[in-house]
Chains A and B, each alone.
Chain A
Amino acid sequence: MTQQELHNWRLQHDAQNKYLQHHTRRHFLSQSAMGLGALALGSLLGCGTNKTTNSVTENFFDPINPLAPRPPMFPGKAKSVIYIHMAGAPSQLELFSYKPELAKLDGQDCPPSLLKGKKFAFIRGVPKMLGPQAAFRQHGQSGLWLSDNLPHLSTVVDDMAMLQAVTTDQFNHAPAQLLMHSGSARQGRPSLGSWVTYGLGTENKNLPGFVVLTSGGNNPDAGKSVWGSGFLPSVYQGVQCRGEGDPVLFIKDPDGMNRDIRKASIDAINKINQQQYEEYKDPEILSRIAQYEMAYKMQISVPEVMNINDEPAYIHEMYGTKPGEARFANNVLLARKLVEKGVRFVQLFDWGWDAHGDSPENAVDVGLINKCRTVDKPITALILDLKQRGLLDETLVIWGSEFGRTPMMENREGKTMPFKGRDHHGAAFSMWMAGGGIKGGTTYGETDEIGYDITNGKTEAFDIQATILHQLGFDHEKFTYQSQGRPFRLTDVGGKVIHDIVS
């Protein structure tokens, strides 16, 4: 017996022992004469696992190969998605929403008509209006107004479709982020990336289908459920990779363990899991087996793709990347690399946009400008780089946040803030999309002359989700997952595709 076989045998033997110790009521039920009837009754009463019959709207889930590529409902323009989320909510009034009228009202008391019946996260009493803290200019053939805070992005406005009247009913970060990404302000629903990888699988079997990269020093407020898989099989949840050090913790084999022994232990574990599966037929066990195998492959493939050192100098210059540092620019470059390698959905979060005015970092005329400088160049580089690589037309890029900010200056607890800041504002904010069959140089939706409320082209999270799914080839009303006895949609009972920005 070789060392490897011995190791294998021991592992299996230990597991068998443990397993026999757990011989319990379950086994009595399943193996006794009553077992079958009792189990059948159990399923009849709804305690069973998901059904596995195949029919039109039945959940499709191949536990052995859950990420195998699958066709969309209709041919989709986009094949992959890069979703850039600025966690904390950047001020649309200093970036995309040009409101010269608001400048005239700067410093005046907010008229009572704007406050009547409204609730704000921090504003109390009567706040002062705050004019735009940035200069705006028109750019490109489309003549889109963009602030000087984004000098690089202004060169690619003709590739972007602006959504100027996005709205949400949530005014706190976590629920608003959940709504934007999972279609529900409460936890428990699958995120957009999970839906997409569930629907389309992934092109590269050696990499996860849904990768999450965060920057800015913190995870988004909604935590990891914002890339969770909800009731979808857990294999579809986002895989968070780190920007510095090992991309995934403990991805290297520990000292003294060589790759063959690693393989042997994974094979042994999978063998036991297979036995377990044959007994219980729980598809999650097959999922687990597939996950172990994928993890083994990813030990090689992930560090390879997550390494930006090999990129040429002109690419680093273009993105403003610094290998080895945890920074947004690195994540953007990684997003491009991942998409190039066939990853279906890359989700970026950058934290630190919550400009309340309580510190210089959180001031719309200080910290916000610095934040813009960290993202402006890499995002612009991403669009141009995808374009020259022939990837932009099948990669949908989305830039957005959970909500926007008030045209009023924040007055937390009725007091004047030390710096200029704005409160959370869900009624009207801006997002944009590019690539993936989106019509560049278009604008959809308008807000009133101070950017307080929308006047037409109302766009809810559901509409954005419907549009993203549409670009990938899915009818958001028919793309469902059967759970708890009813079909669920990402867009719940809402959502309409924004055909005006689709080419």
Chain B
Amino acid sequence: MVVLSIGDFIGKFHPVLVHLPIGILLVAVLFYFLSGKEKYKSITPAISIALFIGMCSAIASSISGFLLSKTAAYEEPLLSRHQWFGIATTVLAVAAWVLYSKHFRQFKWLMILLSLLVIITGHFGGSLTHGADYIFSSGYKSVEAPAPQKLIPDVQQAVAYTDIIKPMLQAKCYSCHGTAKQKGKLRLDEPDYILQGGKNGKIFIAGNTGESELLQRIVLPHDNKEHMPPKEKPQLTKDEIALLHWWINSGASFTEKVSALQQPANIKPVLLALQSGKKNEELAVSFIPEAAVDNADEATIKKLRERGVAITSVAQNSNYLAASFIAVDSITIQDIELLMPLSKQLIWLKLGNSNCTDATISFIDKLTGLTRLSLENTAITDNAFRQLKNLTRLQYLNVAGNNITATGIEQLKEVKLLRNLYIYKTDISASDFANLKKIFPRTMIDTGGYVVPILNSDTTLVTKPK
């Protein structure tokens, strides 16, 4: 293993070594072309030396670069491009030196190609370490990450500027018009600066959206030079533009509450969408929760995996989890207890086709984040609903194939978000079902028991054309 660490060590020198072939090979090319002129004839002997040292340093850079690529994570397509251009440069440098030392002199295209390759390789290398947008970007990474707008408990009581407009400007404008930079001499991070405007003077006239440069430039076509934010930056959404428009139109106050401002019909739903709370939740059932959540506890996940539980996040960039006990032979109460540290993250849980009883899942009410729960073909009874009714975020519940009755199901009436309920092969009668439909008007209740009729044609064969 000593060998490997030497490799790692050599790799570390790549960032230093690369400068040598870049400089020396370019100088060699320069000397080659200069030596054609009578005045510089005397530098001819230096070409061979420069090519030789350039070649050696190119080989050293290639090897160290290769070793470095094995030790750290780099962006893949860029890495292999850099690698192959680097190798091509080295090969060409070797070729140039060999040809030159064999007194072959007419290879100006080879020299031009060599210098191009050096530049391209260098560029890719630079992109790897400094990021692909390094050259053309301003060099500033926006300080405030554009966080999704926070939900407001009661939008009517919110201050229009502080709670709605300011976070929007912060996310989309501050990076160029804030403390760090003031492009166009404009700052948008304080009310005074906003009123002061930029190099063209005031940026808006309260109550007159038509005359407001701020709005005009936001709504310009994206490829217009004057469009703001610049097209490569995150844009304002339709709703955000509507809110800005509404705020300026209603007087651009920095202190008024939303309730004090006029609210035309088109802005009401936009404002409501900013509001969190029970009322809004009832309107929309989202596939996964929008609120962010902390990373799940790795040790717990590891323990569950050792038990054979298939547990992963619901998506690569999400901390929410989905767990399936399909491959677990016999589920115990301890297994369910293992899930407790994940109560915030766990949203989908499959416990179906198992030996689960009411006792096994007696802690399940602690998993309040659950939106989908499969409990089909288990041994649960109506008593399980004493726990299940506390899972108020449930959207999907599958209790098919269990000895349960309508008395159990009815306890779920406070689970307002429930949209899909599966009760196939349970002890729920047709009259109970009619009653349940009244109790759960927004829920699709599937009682199953579908029949595919037996038709004569199913089993007979056609032998000749009609």
Contacts and interface: CB of A to CB of B under 8 A. Distances in A.
A210 to B, nearest CB: 16
Nearest to B461: A370
- In the A-B complex, list the 8 residue pairs whose CB atoms are closest, starting with the nearest: A388-B448, A390-B422, A384-B450, A390-B398, A342-B326, A388-B424, A55-B73, A203-B310
Nearest to A53: B73
A202 B396 CA distance: 22
B318 interface: yes
Contact of B73 (A54, A75, A204, A370): A54
Contact of A55 (B79, B84, B312): B79
Contacts of A376: 458
A151 interface: yes
Given A365-B465, A370-B462, A419-B465, A56 B318 contact: no
Contacts of A132: none
A474 to B, nearest CB: 10
Contacts of A57: 75-77
B462 A369 contact: yes
B89 to A, nearest CB: 13
Interface stretch (B62-70, B194-202, B277-285): B62-70
A389 B422 contact: yes
A390 B421 CA distance: 8
B463 interface: yes
A377 B451 CA distance: 11
B374 A390 contact: yes
Contacts of B353: 340-341
A265 interface: no
A373 B308 contact: no
B326 A473 contact: no
Given A204-B327, A342-B324, A388-B448, A71 B315 contact: yes
Interface stretch (A36-44, A115-123, A238-246, A401-409): A36-44
Contacts of A55: 73-76, 79
Interface in A374-406: 376-377, 380-381, 384-385, 387-390, 393
A335 to B, nearest CB: 16
Given A74-B315, A387-B446, A363 B465 contact: yes
A76 B322 CA distance: 12
Contact of A373 (B327, B454, B457): B457
A57 B305 CA distance: 26
Contacts of B400: 388-390
Interface size class of B (residues with CB under 8 A): 35 or more
Interface in B440-466: 446-455, 457-466
A389 B315 contact: no
Interface string A152-185: 1001000000000000000000000000000000
A256 interface: no
Interface string A39-75: 0100111000000011111100000000011111111
Interface in A432-489: 473, 482, 485, 487
B318 A71 contact: yes
Counting chain A CB atoms within 10 Å of each CB, the highest count among B62, B448, B452 belongs to B452
21 contacts: A40-B66, A55-B73, A58-B76, A69-B310, A69-B324, A73-B316, A75-B288, A76-B315, A204-B326, A204-B327, A205-B308, A317-B454, A342-B326, A342-B327, A365-B465, A366-B462, A366-B463, A370-B461, A377-B452, A384-B452, A390-B376
Contacts of A40: 63, 66-67
Contacts of B311: 69
A151 B457 contact: yes
A75 B312 contact: no
B132 to A, nearest CB: 12
Contacts of B80: 485
B287 interface: yes
Contacts of A197: none
Contacts of B463: 360, 366
B243 to A, nearest CB: 27
Contacts of A373: 457-461
B448 A389 contact: yes
A36 B63 CA distance: 12
B87 A44 contact: yes
Contacts of A389: 376, 398, 400, 422, 424, 448
A115 to B, nearest CB: 26
B210 to A, nearest CB: 36
A318 B311 CA distance: 34
Contacts of B458: 320, 373, 376-377
A452 B342 CA distance: 56
Contacts of B396: 390, 393
B72 A53 contact: yes
A380 B462 contact: no
A277 B462 CA distance: 59
A206 interface: yes
Given A69-B310, A69-B324, 15 more contacts: A44-B63, A53-B69, A53-B70, A71-B312, A71-B316, A71-B318, A205-B308, A363-B465, A365-B465, A366-B462, A366-B465, A377-B452, A389-B422, A390-B400, A485-B84
Contacts of B76: 55-58, 482, 487
A310 to B, nearest CB: 13
B314 interface: yes
Contacts of B453: 152
Nearest to B401: A389
Counting chain B CB atoms within 10 Å of each CB, the highest count among A71, A373, A380 belongs to A71
A44 B87 CA distance: 8
Interface string A16-54: 000000000000000000001000100111000000011
Interface in B54-95: 62-63, 66-67, 69-70, 72-77, 79-80, 84, 87
A99 interface: no
Contacts of B70: 53
A390 B62 CA distance: 57
A45 B83 CA distance: 10
Given A75-B318, A373-B457, A389-B422, A56 B75 contact: yes
A110 B318 CA distance: 58
Nearest to A45: B87
A203 B75 contact: no
Nearest to B62: A44
Given A40-B63, A57-B75, A152-B452, A205 B315 contact: no
Contacts of B455: 151-152
Contacts of B310: 68-69, 202-205, 342
Contact of A473 (B77, B315, B451, B460): B315
Nearest to A56: B75
B411 to A, nearest CB: 19
Contacts of B305: 68
B286 to A, nearest CB: 10
A420 interface: yes
